[in-house]
Amino acid sequence: MNLRIPLAFLPENKQATVVEVVGGRGLVRRLYELGFTPRTKVRVVSSSSPGPVLVDIRGARVALGRGVTMKIIVNPE
Amino acid sequence: MIKVALIGNPNVGKSLIFNNLTGGKAHVGNWPGKTVEKKVGKCVYKGVEIEIVDLPGTYSLTANSIDELIARDYIVKEKPDVVVDIVDASNLERNLYLTLQLLELEANVVIALNKFDVAEDLGYEINVSELSKLLGVPVVPTVATTQGGMEKLKETVARAAKEKSRRRIIEISYGKKIDELIAKIERILQKDENLTKIYPARWLAIKVLEADDEVLKIIEKSPCVQEIVNLLPEM
Amino acid sequence: MSEKIKELLGEEAEVLLAEKRYEVISRILPKVLKGKKPLTRSDLLDKAFLNKYLGIPVFLALWWALFRFTFDVSAPLSDLIDMVFGRLGEIASMSIQNEQLASFVADGLIGGLGSVLVFIPPIFFLFFGLAILEDSGYLARAAFVVDRVMYKLGLHGKSFIPMLLGFGCNIPGIMATRTIDKEEDRILTILVNPLMSCSARLPVYVFIGGAVLGGYAAAGVYSMYILGIVLAVLMALLFRRIIPYFKGKPSAFILELPMYAMPTLRSTLAHMWERGVLFLKKAGTIILLATVVIWALSAYPWGAVHSGDEPLIEASYVGFLGHAIEPIFRPLGFDWRATVALFFGFVAKEIVVDTFGVLGLGGAEELQQVFNPVTGLAFMAFTLIYIPCLATIGVIYRETNSWKWTVFTVVYGVVLAYFVAFLIVGIGGMLGY
């Protein structure tokens, strides 16, 4: 399945693969450094729409604001 | 005297290790010209004095924030004899990213594998000697909360300090095309001795490709800037 | 050149380099790490603590517990220190022959030392409680929980911990803003941090409120904390709107949450000690020095002040000063002594209480002659809002590296304090006080 949705729309407990990160250079760079590189698996641990989202990325727990999760494009499994 | 810098991601227990090593006695000041706090402490191992500088907690060594810049400038310019990289054993994947960057910076790294007890509680089995072999640097398991592994860490630091401080241990391959570009830029940069005296050439080359603002500023002042610009169409 | 490189390579090289580094790590990991399991327990806790509906109530409950703990445990200790130093002062003034020296040692030195030391219990207990929350991994989660609210208020989720620390002391609060990446967000958080009612202001509320608010004293004291929070929010929103530098939205919220852990006594104490000592060093020395200066200004000219049986403060330099600036504060109903107290309070707010003592207004009856309930409340609000203390100003300058923002903080504080106090007096007047 080749669906592309923002991470913000991924429901709790669901896993997806990172397709790309869009946005300003500083933000993109920070997300790459935290491991949000293409083809990486990401899982939503807790989502408090419209608040921030907690994800599992490379075994670490990273909290992302709503705005940020709109900029991470993923392919849900 | 051995000069040691402590570095690590946030939340790895760095300040506790600093306290363990220095006995809590620290000189607190500011980084020159910056508003960020600088902590310096001392300890003695077998009659050798060790000066320990606490670098700001950071995930990376890009020019993203003041903290990252301070950490990287200190390692590059002050050239500490040993850089102790505190790695969270329960969060290896994320933490090793900084480790790789330190190795690219050609720092003399010793890894303190902290929160080793937490990792064990989680059921992780970490092959310490294999990790040390693969990265090419000493690895010491530590438990900062109970002072575990501190003597071993001091001993390892003292031993590592005897090695040459700047050395290339591993070279990360970035794929054929990028590797070639890095090599080309590196060769050009090597002509400028004023630069390579301070910065590792390969590291500079990588940072040029990353379009690192601070590094680009430095290179713009170098006489070899034109040659690098001439390379640009190849990119 | 940098523009060219950025144009040519864009993010491509950057993403590739980051990807390759993580690739290297992925090759190393399976060889060194076995038995990695999903963090079920941690994730379950997160589902509860970060829950959309439960998150905020849980946070408020923990916060309330923290404050109760801090104040309940520390109050008797502070009282004890206060008493001991009061006794020491009496002993010193009786046993030293030379009048000027006795006054200097008793009122200046011992009084100054005492006013620093009474802060140790609340500050250290607050930092102890915060260290437990921090080491357990909860504090970072609190930033997650409040991010949604903070964002609406024009602040960053990470602004939250500095604000919380501000209730203990604005100095560690302002220093904690370093974790905020974007300069604009950080400076905005620094600017409103002094409105968080630090523990140095509490003695003033208790002192004035206890004397003039009668049965409403406790409510008056609590209302100051709420007023501070409300003003901080309003100011943050206002600055975002009217100051071009802050235009736009708070920067992206990205925060790695540490794993939950059982806090250990050693690391909790180490954390507490680190922050507490910072406060003592930064604030303690300044407060001590200032108390000595105040003593000198209120004891000299010696002859004029000590002509009668009781010292006549009105004849001192302090009295002179108070009378000179009093007209400015007359619309708020503050007399020359209240003015003097505010003037010295700029050094450190709790000196306001000491100053009233020095000026012969140490008791409730005397205070009631100066304040009615409305002007008393206005005075409390003024104390909350105007100029952060001298040590905080120093830290604001160091952390913003700009005189412009430092002066701005001082000026807006005074203007806002005057405005709010005037409002209180005005509304009180309409209600018949």
- Summarised one tens digit per residue, pLDDT across range A48-74 is 777 889 999 998 999 998 889 999 999
Written as one string, the DSSP assignment of B203-233 is HHHHHHHTT-HHHHHHHHTSTTHHHHHHHGG
In a domain, B71, yes or no: yes
Q: Considering only CB atoms, which chain B residues are within 8 Å of A58?
A: 93-94
Distance CA C199, CA C168 (A): 5
The pLDDT, as a whole number, for residue B131 is 95
Min Cα separation B128/chain A (Å): 19
Considering the domain architecture, whether residues B191 and B148 belong to the same structural domain is answered as: no
Min Cα separation A37/chain B (Å): 12
Q: Are C131 and B16 in contact (CB under 8 A)?
A: no
What's the CATH number where A43 sits?
A: 2.30.30.90
Please give the average per-residue pLDDT across C364-378, as a whole number: 89
Token pair for C181: 């990446």
Token pair for B108: 């003399």
User: Which DSSP symbol is given to B63?
Assistant: S
Contacts of B154 (CB under 8 A, 6+ apart): B21, B43, B45, B50
**pLDDT of A18 over the 90 cut:** yes
Q: Which residue has the tokens 């997806």?
A: A16
The pLDDT, as a whole number, for residue C75 is 80
CA dist A39 → A35, C106, C347 (Å): 10, 72, 57
Q: Give pLDDT tens digits for A6-16.
A: 999 999 899 99
In a domain, B33, yes or no: yes
pLDDT bin (cut points 50, 70, 90) of residue C415 is very high
Considering the domain architecture, whether residues B116 and B191 belong to the same structural domain is answered as: no
pLDDT bin (cut points 50, 70, 90) of residue A35 is very high
Which of the two residues, A30 and B4, has the higher pLDDT score? B4
pLDDT bin (cut points 50, 70, 90) of residue C5 is low
Q: Is B235 on the interface with C (CB under 8 A)?
A: yes
**pLDDT of B177 over the 90 cut:** no
Q: Is A73 on the interface with C (CB under 8 A)?
A: no
Considering the domain architecture, whether residues B27 and B141 belong to the same structural domain is answered as: yes
Token pair for C121: 């219990």
**pLDDT of C116 over the 80 cut:** no
CA dist C299 → A29, B50, B173 (Å): 62, 51, 75
**pLDDT of C67 over the 60 cut:** yes
Q: Could you tell me what percent of chain B has a pLDDT over 90?
A: 48
The pLDDT, as a whole number, for residue C369 is 87
Mean of per-residue pLDDT scores for chain C: 84
Q: Do C15 and A48 touch (CB under 8 A)?
A: no
Examine the fold and report which residue of B135, B160, B185 is the final residue of a domain before the chain moves on.
B160
Q: Which of C207, C241, C195 is nearest to C338 (CA)?
A: C207
Mean of per-residue pLDDT scores for chain B: 88
Residues spanned by the domain of A36: 5-76
Considering the domain architecture, whether residues B72 and B16 belong to the same structural domain is answered as: yes
Q: Considering only CB atoms, which chain A residues are within 8 Å of C43?
A: 45-46, 56
Q: Is B64 on the interface with A (CB under 8 A)?
A: yes
The pLDDT, as a whole number, for residue C282 is 66
Length of chain A: 77
Please give the average per-residue pLDDT across C191-214, as a whole number: 89
The pLDDT, as a whole number, for residue C431 is 83
Residues spanned by the domain of B220: 176-234
Angle of the C2-32 helix axis to the B213-220 helix axis, nearest 10? 130
The mean-pLDDT minimum among A42-56, B27-41, C40-54, C415-429 falls in B27-41
- Count of the separate structural domains present in chain A: 1
Contacts of B202 (CB under 8 A, 6+ apart): B104, B106, B168, B171, B182, B186
The pLDDT, as a whole number, for residue B231 is 77
Q: Do C17 and B96 touch (CB under 8 A)?
A: no
Q: Is A61 on the interface with B (CB under 8 A)?
A: no
Which of the two residues, B69 and B35, has the higher pLDDT score? B69
In a domain, B165, yes or no: no
For residue C400, give the chain B residue with the closest CA.
Answer: B35
Q: What are phi and psi of B118, to 5 degrees?
A: -60, -45
User: Which DSSP symbol is given to A54?
Assistant: E
Q: Is B193 on the interface with A (CB under 8 A)?
A: no
Q: Give pLDDT tens digits for B140-162.
A: 999 998 899 999 999 999 999 98
Please list the residues that pair with B29 across neighbouring strands.
Answer: B38
Q: Which of B34, B145, B177, B221 to mutate to test the interface with C (most CBs of C within 10 A)?
A: B145
pLDDT bin (cut points 50, 70, 90) of residue C4 is low
A52 → closest Cβ in C36, C144, C259: C144
Q: Are C417 and C382 in contact (CB under 8 A)?
A: yes
Token pair for A39: 């083809």
Please list the residues that pair with B6 across neighbouring strands.
Answer: B54, B84
Considering the domain architecture, whether residues B134 and B183 belong to the same structural domain is answered as: no
Q: Do A46 and C14 touch (CB under 8 A)?
A: no
Q: Do B125 and C33 touch (CB under 8 A)?
A: yes
Q: Please, which residues 145-204 of chain B have a Cβ atom closer than 8 Å to chain C?
A: 145-146, 172-175, 178
Min Cα separation C235/chain A (Å): 23
Q: Please, which residues 96-115 of chain B have a Cβ atom closer than 8 Å to chain A?
A: 97
**Inter-chain CB pairs, A–B, below 8 Å:** 22
Q: Are C210 and C226 in contact (CB under 8 A)?
A: no
Distance CA C32, CA C44 (A): 28
Considering the domain architecture, whether residues B38 and B108 belong to the same structural domain is answered as: yes
Token pair for C426: 């005005």
Contacts of B133 (CB under 8 A, 6+ apart): none
What's the CATH number where B105 sits?
A: 3.40.50.300
Written as one string, the DSSP assignment of C221-283 is HHHHHHHHHHHHHHHHHHHHHH-GGG-SPPPP-EEEEPPP-PPPHHHHHHHHHHHHHHHIIII
CA dist B99 → A62, B84, C87, C203 (Å): 20, 10, 58, 49
In a domain, B138, yes or no: yes
Written as one string, the DSSP assignment of C18-86 is HHHHHHHHHHHHHHHEE-----HHHHHHHHHHT-TTTHHHHHHHHHHHHHHHHHHHHHHHHHHHHHHHH
The pLDDT, as a whole number, for residue B94 is 92
Q: Please, which residues 9-48 of chain B have a Cβ atom closer than 8 Å to chain C?
A: 9-11, 13, 15-16, 19, 24, 28, 30, 35-37
Q: Considering only CB atoms, which chain C residues are within 8 Å of A51?
A: 52, 144-145, 147-148
Q: Give pLDDT tens digits for B199-218.
A: 999 999 998 888 888 888 88
Three-class DSSP category at B151:
helix
pLDDT bin (cut points 50, 70, 90) of residue C8 is low
Distance CA C90, CA C110 (A): 10
Residue C398 burial (10 A CB sphere; 0-12, 13-18, 19+): middle
Q: Is B65 on the interface with A (CB under 8 A)?
A: no
Q: Are strands B125-126 and C33-34 parallel, antiparallel or unpaired?
A: antiparallel
- Count of the separate structural domains present in chain B: 2
A52 → closest Cβ in C22, C43, C157: C157
Cα torsion through C108, C109, C113, C115, rounded to 10 = -10
The pLDDT, as a whole number, for residue A71 is 93
B97 → closest Cβ in A30, A33, A59: A33
For residue C18, give the chain B residue with the closest CA.
Answer: B97
Considering the domain architecture, whether residues B86 and B27 belong to the same structural domain is answered as: yes
**pLDDT of C290 over the 80 cut:** no
Please give the average per-residue pLDDT across C267-290, as a whole number: 77
H/E segment holding residue C5:
helix C2-32
Token pair for C386: 């105007």
C267 → closest Cβ in B16, B93, B100: B16
pLDDT bin (cut points 50, 70, 90) of residue B100 is very high
Q: Give the predicted TM-score (pTM) of the model.
A: 0.81
